[in-house]
Amino acid sequence: MIRLGCPRDVAALRWEWAKEWHGVLGSKPDEAFVDAVDRWMSGPRTVWTAYHAGDAVGMVCLTHFERMPSPAVLASGSWGYLGQLYVRATARGMGLGSALVGQVLAEAEKRAYSKVVLSPSEESVPLYLRCGFTDDHGMLIWRRSQT
């Protein structure tokens, strides 16, 4: 099940990510970290959390960007940045990463974003390519169909 993330679950997942990738010590985030994540979540972004057997096991963030109008194109346009995709090691291989990316792309369609952009890790590229992203000089881009 995927639903909008709550600060406590998102903070716990971010803490686990930091432990896995950067060796952060400590078993769980303190209240100051949860508060910092809560403040971060109040910005121009949406965070979803994946749950399995009642536990938060994955997350993804979609950050909103508004393009500045130009003399050639007076109307502004919007696009999204996909970030913070993380699935606990114990929940990998269950399709949750693809489901979280699918949630972001469904929301991008709903918001009529022209594109979603991300900066992938080397390990994540195959997942994003399977989800419809294409490589553009090291960045990955998904473009909304114009049909």
- The span from the CA of 7 to the CA of 9, in Å, is 6
* Confidence category of residue 77, pLDDT binned at 50, 70, 90: confident
Query: Phi/psi class of residue 112: alpha, beta or left (left: φ > 0; alpha: ψ in -120 to 50)?
Result: left
pLDDT tens, residue by residue, 38-47: 999 998 999 9
Query: What is 2-143's CATH number, 1.50.10.10, 1.20.1250.20, 3.40.50.300, 3.40.630.30?
Result: 3.40.630.30
Task: Over range 8-37, report the average pLDDT.
Answer: 87
- pTM equals 0.90
Return the domain boundaries, the chain.
2-143
- The span from the CA of 67 to the CA of 78, in Å, is 6
